[in-house]
């Protein structure tokens, strides 16, 4: 048994979607969540700059003695996961491979759409991950940067948001996709709006559930699960001073989030 916490991080609020599923899958585990709200969004940034951010945040979590790290951000996963995998001697997992795996299992006509940040789209990370699983699947990607901005501002509903969503998704629907990957962990916060625009014939995919399944599997395989029946701690850090982290977090997680610690993490 191992009572060290799990570390989860994102550029901002989006990783809370992954965190929620992890808490469901492994409810006894202590968790430290880190949101880099001072530098959100990561999507428009150069991937080398994002990689630098990711390495610094990972070191911060490692110094908190976490036993496993989840990169709950597609752009960060694309930028740095392959380099982090062996660096700290603890498991580090991302969200792209689980999302790709789910899409492969859910497309009947082998045409998959992806809405994501510019960085994730430019990296072609989903194209590569899906191709490795099934090279016959066609992947069509659209960058949807405004949706990240809406979520970070706490705008999770309304006509303006719906119009923006449909403007991004309609070109993918014209490609006759039957599965749509929400390739940014912010997007499950507005999943019902995305599903409404996509229509009933499209399988909308979040990598959060599959990532949580991977976390549970790794903890068990490595024998580092926390004891059952304990009361776990949840600690939240952010780098921004004027974000909507607590408000949106409370809407999404309820009483699981009682406060957010603001820190100045030098990057």
Locus of tokens 């808490």: 23
Q: What is the model's pTM?
A: 0.90
Domain residues for 116? 96-207
pLDDT digits (tens, 9 = 90+) for 196-233: 999 989 999 999 999 999 999 999 999 999 999 999 99
Question: Is-catalytic flag, 73?
Answer: yes
In a domain, 267, yes or no: no
* pLDDT reported for residue 255: 81
Of 105, 166, 184, 197, the catalytic one is 184
Host H or E run for residue 198: helix 191-198
- Tally of domains in the chain: 2
CATH number for the domain harbouring residue 156: 3.40.50.1860
Q: 187 with 215, same domain?
A: no
Q: 41 with 88, same domain?
A: yes
CB atoms within 10 A of CB 154: 14
In a domain, 70, yes or no: yes
Q: 106 with 28, same domain?
A: no
Q: 37 with 102, same domain?
A: no
In a domain, 37, yes or no: yes
Question: Is-catalytic flag, 184?
Answer: yes
Q: 89 with 221, same domain?
A: yes
In a domain, 252, yes or no: yes
In a domain, 1, yes or no: no
Q: 59 with 77, same domain?
A: yes
Domain boundary among 207, 235, 251: 207
pLDDT digits (tens, 9 = 90+) for 18-62: 999 999 999 999 999 999 999 999 999 999 999 999 999 999 999
Distance CA 190, CA 160 (A): 13
CB atoms within 10 A of CB 202: 19
Q: 171 with 197, same domain?
A: yes
Q: What percent of the chain has pLDDT over 70?
A: 100
Q: 162 with 254, same domain?
A: no
pLDDT over 80 (residue 85): no
**What backbone phi and psi angles, to 5 degrees, belong to 182?**
-80, 90
Distance CA 45, CA 150 (A): 18
Structure tokens at 37: 């709200």
Domain boundary among 207, 229, 248: 207
Closest C-alpha among 264, 225, 211, 265 to residue 2:
225
In a domain, 64, yes or no: yes
Q: 154 with 57, same domain?
A: no
């Amino acid at each position: 048994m191992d009572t060290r916490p799990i570390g989860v991080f994102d550029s901002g609020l989006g990783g809370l979607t992954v965190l929620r599923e992890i808490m469901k899958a492994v409810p006894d585990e202590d968790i430290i969540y880190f949101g880099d709200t001072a530098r959100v969004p990561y999507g428009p940034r150069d991937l080398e700059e994002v990689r630098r951010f990711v390495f610094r945040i990972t070191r911060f979590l490692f110094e908190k003695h976490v036993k496993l790290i989840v990169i709950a951000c597609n752009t960060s996963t694309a930028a740095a996961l392959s380099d982090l995998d062996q660096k700290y001697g603890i498991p580090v997992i991302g969200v792209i491979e689980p999302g790709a795996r789910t899409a492969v299992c859910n497309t009947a006509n082998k045409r998959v759409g992806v809405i994501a940040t510019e960085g994730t789209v430019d990296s072609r990370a989903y194209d590569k991950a899906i191709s490795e699983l099934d090279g016959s699947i066609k992947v069509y990607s659209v960058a949807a940067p405004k949706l990240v901005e809406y979520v970070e501002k706490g705008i999770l509903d309304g006509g303006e948001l719906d119009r923006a969503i449909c403007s991004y998704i309609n070109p993918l629907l014209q490609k006759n996709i039957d599965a749509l990957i929400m390739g940014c962990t912010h997007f499950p916060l507005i999943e019902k709006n995305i599903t409404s625009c996509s229509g009933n014939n499209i399988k909308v995919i979040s990598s959060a559930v599959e990532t949580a399944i991977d976390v549970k599997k790794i903890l068990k395989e490595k024998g580092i699960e926390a004891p059952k029946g304990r009361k776990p701690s949840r600690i939240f850090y952010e780098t921004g001073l004027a974000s909507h982290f607590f408000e949106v977090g409370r809407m999404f997680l309820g009483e699981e989030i009682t406060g957010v610690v603001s820190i100045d993490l030098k990057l």
